[in-house]
Amino acid sequence: MKRSERLISLTNFFINHPRKLTQLTHFTEAYNASKSSVSEDVNIIHKQFKQEGIGYIVNTAGVSGGVQYIPYFDKAKSKDVITDLCNQLEDPSRVLPGGYVYMSDLLGNPSVVQEIAKAFVTAFHDEKIDAVVTVETKGISLAYAVAQYLQVPVVVIRRNMRVTEGSSVSINYVSGRSHRIQTMILPKRHLEEGMNVCIIDDFIKAGGTVSGMISLLEEFKAKVVGVGIFAEGEDDQEEARMIDNYTSLVKVANMNVKNKQINVTLGNFFNK
Amino acid sequence: MKRSERLISLTNFFINHPRKLTQLTHFTEAYNASKSSVSEDVNIIHKQFKQEGIGYIVNTAGVSGGVQYIPYFDKAKSKDVITDLCNQLEDPSRVLPGGYVYMSDLLGNPSVVQEIAKAFVTAFHDEKIDAVVTVETKGISLAYAVAQYLQVPVVVIRRNMRVTEGSSVSINYVSGRSHRIQTMILPKRHLEEGMNVCIIDDFIKAGGTVSGMISLLEEFKAKVVGVGIFAEGEDDQEEARMIDNYTSLVKVANMNVKNKQINVTLGNFFNK
């Protein structure tokens, strides 16, 4: 196999198997190439991935060693993409009653979701994450896209019990703004105990839902190592937001439902 | 920029931008390379992608022409992967009351979801698809993964009305087996009229949900060009399944809830 063909094959492999540790012999056998040739290929790819701002290849020596593509995306490019999303979100027709913003078109667009996911992957790059947790429905695609880059499972908390999936843990929580009591459910077999998880969701206002998720996850002895929220809304109530340690990509402010006005700026990820 | 670097950069671009038509000048400028060099690069990638069984590059001549990566996956490889899933699904602990199968772990695993999505992309390769439609909750990750390859929006039908997203169309339908009346809702702005859509869902039994989705989509003058269901269950009722034109990847049979027995074989995709 020629070097040019190996480079294409390896690039495809790495991009489709992020974070997967693979022994070099896997490639030397598949390509019928020497270890030094494959090492050189990997090195060329490592440099080019860094150049493209999409991450890097880690090369671990030893018996259990191998190569591994770690996605890590250029923050300046993210900033451009998210700034463009801010502009799109300022469209007055997106203002919904109750202080919500219409975003379903963006969260249903795979290339937008991909770009949002990249920012979270970069934000949580230093954390060891075993699972991505979200609550149905709107954040699922986004959580899945993040989980794809991290190559860990997505766990979806349900709002109500459906067909039995064995014993479940459920909690009641108070929705931050409306003060309504709501329920969240997670079947026990969906998440092992003691995992490191990151929470991904589309929108936060008072933070009641996320704080409910954190309570539910405590029942699974999970450690929440990151909370990534695409858009944070305004919380104009006296009381403080129910959670304060989260990463947001955009920030919605000065929403006026009557006049259909809305300001959308970059979230706290870009201050860090 | 060297050929080796261009090949890595182009491979990354194509894999992350499936079906996107891009003019060659985009690359000649980005790489400061001649048109003939880039054409040769694209040709090498085209051959290698075919070799890898992941699709091919289409090269369109003319002013509005360009190059485009069309994902199309090797069916023999899909068969191996799905056969392995059949074996996993035959685990007795997956048998759930009511004739359901526990699959949330598989549908939450990004690499499994990716492989399932690839089979549907291949199945619907000849159709012009404008959107992927699913119904909350379990099929969303899968629908998103398919939409990523097709680069079209995912549209999620809701089970109940939440915060208003403007005017919605809702229908009542009869769940095939339990004969219960259920509701489905789709806000009008989620789907333009007259689109070609494919439906993706995780499981079908009597087919009531899918036939409900088709009725709802008729209200949007959508044309359903494909129905992709990961697993088809047994419909042991006298009456015929409510829909008969669908593509399934696995087929569940002889389920015995009491004895926790279940047979899982390849679905109709592999007969076609």
- pLDDT tens for residues B151-185? 999 999 998 876 667 789 999 998 766 778 889 99
Interchain pair A140, B137: CB under 8 A: yes
Q: Which of B8, B52, B147 sits opposite A48 (nearest CB)?
A: B8
Omega prior to B137 cis, within 30 of 0: yes
Residue B256's CB is within 10 A of a number of other CB atoms, namely 12
Residue spans per domain, chain B: 3-71, 75-270
CATH class of B3-71: mainly alpha
Contact residues, A window 217-256, toward B, CB-based 8 Å cutoff? none
- Over 50: is that where the pLDDT of A3 sits? yes
Which letter does DSSP use for residue B22 in this model?
Answer: B
Q: What is the pLDDT of residues A98-156, one digit of tens each?
A: 778 899 999 999 999 999 999 999 999 999 999 999 999 999 999 999 999 999 999 99
Distance in Å, alpha carbon of A20 to nearest chain B alpha carbon: 11
- Over 70: is that where the pLDDT of A253 sits? yes
Both tokens of A130, joined, read: 């075993």
Cα gap A181→A30, rounded to integer Å: 57
- Over 70: is that where the pLDDT of A177 sits? no
B24-31 and B35-52 helices cross at what angle (nearest 10)? 110
Q: Is A148 on the interface with B (CB under 8 A)?
A: yes
Q: What is the pLDDT of residues B186-220, one digit of tens each?
A: 999 999 999 999 999 999 988 899 999 999 999 99
Cβ neighbors of B142 (< 8 A, separation 6 or more) are B107, B113, B116, B117, B134, B200, B201, B202, B230
A-interface mutation test, from B22, B141, B142, most A Cβ less than 10 A away: B141
B-interface mutation test, from A4, A8, A9, A205, most B Cβ less than 10 A away: A8
Interchain pair A105, B145: CB under 8 A: no
Q: Tell me, what's the pLDDT at A164?
A: 62
In which element (H, E) is residue A248 found?
strand A247-256
Both tokens of A122, joined, read: 């970069």
Which letter does DSSP use for residue B67 in this model?
Answer: E
Q: Among A217-226, B48-57, B63-72, which is the least confidently predicted range? A: B63-72
Mean per-residue pLDDT of chain A:
93
Cβ neighbors of B36 (< 8 A, separation 6 or more) are none
Q: Tell me, what's the pLDDT at A167?
A: 84
Cα gap A266→A85, rounded to integer Å: 9
Residue pair A45/A57 in contact (Cβ under 8 Å)? The answer is yes
Residue A71 phi, psi (nearest 5): -70, 135
Q: Tell me, what's the pLDDT at B238?
A: 44
Using alpha carbons only, give the angle B237, B239, B241 rounded to the nearest 5 degrees.
90
One fold for B3-71 and B75-270: no
B-interface mutation test, from A1, A3, A6, A7, most B Cβ less than 10 A away: A7
* CA A260 distance to own-chain centroid: 30
- pTM score of the predicted model: 0.96
Per-residue pLDDT, averaged over A31-53, amounts to 97
The ipTM is: 0.96
Per-residue pLDDT, averaged over A9-37, amounts to 97
User: Which CATH number fits the domain B75-270, given the four candidates 3.40.50.2020, 1.10.1380.10, 3.30.1180.20, 1.10.10.10?
Assistant: 3.40.50.2020
